[in-house]
Amino acid sequence: MTTPITFYYEFASPYAYLASERIEAIAERHGRAIVWKPFLLGIVFKSTGAGPLTQIPLKGNYAARDLPRAARRHGIPFTMPPRFPFLSVNAARLVYWAGERRAPDLTHAFFRASFRDGLSLHETGVTLDVAAGAGLDRAAAEAAIRDPAVKARLSEETDAAIEAGVCGSPFFLVDGEPFWGSDRLDEIDQWLASGGW
Amino acid sequence: MTTPITFYYEFASPYAYLASERIEAIAERHGRAIVWKPFLLGIVFKSTGAGPLTQIPLKGNYAARDLPRAARRHGIPFTMPPRFPFLSVNAARLVYWAGERRAPDLTHAFFRASFRDGLSLHETGVTLDVAAGAGLDRAAAEAAIRDPAVKARLSEETDAAIEAGVCGSPFFLVDGEPFWGSDRLDEIDQWLASGGW
């Protein structure tokens, strides 16, 4: 009986998008399920003092070069949405509201809307359109993002992520081992193949 | 005619130590020389707003787990020196003063003193002992670290590193392509093997 890979991600994180396009093949190769855990990176930033990568001197320039290069390396279509960073709280709420079964498709729909199609999830209407396109009932989704219970769920999940040691996006837990960054997926692949080191 | 790999590193960076133990094999495999460029990460931190990884909430805990794991993965002896972070300016000055031919051995001597043998380069005497152990004249080295021209050289090299886009330690330039982090060495290896993507 193997444990699932826990995949923590912020929807406004371009590196998390890149990871979302690769994680399933790696999990499948090793017979692992995935637990999909969107969280609010802004809350983590309050602890770490970090901020949106693209806005940081030197690191922003590096990311602007590294991101499309990483996408090319793995054959993943990539664009930056016109507004960045953007509020992704509604997308994250909807993943928890829609439930585990829908989490993978909904996650891909939101990430691809931003980083493949260049749409702005900052706009609630766009987020709802994407959710509807992924099969959610638009009116019910619109009610859900205002539902205090749904809001509380995302807050709790974000707190739980921090409690689990999540310090950035994307972040992975594999048999209790933490891995931070989309560039660690090859390492996770090797870790699972070899049983660790 | 191939261009060398430029290796930028801060002597108080444990990830740079790990990189220093792997970079030569990768460079040799692809027929590349290495240009050794110690710099002062503290000056880069003034631009990026970052700080010593181990002191940052959440990220510090992650690094404490990730560093020994990365060392185990590559079979590199690893310890954290008793004082961290520490002032590494004298070690960096001595590398430039000693010249390119001595840079590899001196770099290894300083990194291993800290992260293999647990010595404190924060102490000038320890730094000079290590330099003497690596073949430098101790008295001449002691004079060199106070020499305004040597001090100016390290400042200029740090400014040049920032100008080149260095945003952290270790950092690599390979045919004009920037790579940040010891965990990118496999990517550099693949980049050199394939001609890039």
How many residues appear in chain A? 197
Q: How many angstroms away from the CA of B166 is the closest CA of chain A?
A: 7
- B164: exposed, middle or buried (Cβ count in 10 Å: 0-12, 13-18, 19+): middle
Lowest mean pLDDT among A54-63, A146-155, B23-32, B162-171: A54-63
Closest residue to A183, CB basis, from B44, B48, B183: B183
- A55 to chain B, any CB pair closer than 8 A? The answer is no
- Which neighbouring-strand residues pair with B34? B5
Q: Tell if the CB–CB gap between A167 and B48 is shorter than 8 Å.
A: no
Q: Tell if the CB–CB gap between B62 and A177 is shorter than 8 Å.
A: no
Distance CA A57, CA A49 (A): 15
Pairs of CB atoms within 8 A across A/B: 77
* CATH classification at residue A96: 3.40.30.10
Structure tokens at A114: 């931003």
Q: Nearest 5°: phi and psi at B169?
A: -135, 130
pLDDT for res A53:
85
Mutation choice for B interface testing from A58, A175, A190 by most B CBs within 10 A: A58
Identify the residue whose tokens are 């030569």.
B24
Q: Nearest 5°: phi and psi at B173?
A: -115, 125
Q: Give chain A's domain count.
A: 1
Structure tokens at A22: 């690769």
Q: Which helix (H) or strand (E) holds B123?
A: none
Checking ipTM against 0.85, whether it exceeds it is yes
Q: Radius of gyration over alpha carbons of chain A, in Å?
A: 16
Q: Can you give the pTM of this predicted structure?
A: 0.96
pLDDT for res B94:
98
Amino acid identity of residue A2, one-letter, is T
pLDDT tens, N- to C-terminus, chain B (197 residues): 689 999 999 999 999 999 999 999 999 999 999 999 999 999 999 989 888 888 899 999 999 999 999 999 999 999 999 999 999 999 999 999 999 999 999 999 999 999 999 999 999 999 999 999 999 999 999 999 999 999 999 999 999 999 999 999 999 999 999 999 999 999 999 999 999 99
Contacts of B167 in chain A (CB under 8 A): 56, 58-59, 61-62
Q: Which domain holds residue A186?
A: 5-194
pLDDT for res A1:
62
Identify the residue whose tokens are 């002191």.
B55
Mutation choice for A interface testing from B40, B167, B171 by most A CBs within 10 A: B167
- A167 to chain B, any CB pair closer than 8 A? The answer is yes
Q: Which chain A residue's Cα is nearest to B74?
A: A197
pLDDT for res A54:
84
Structure tokens at B126: 């320890």
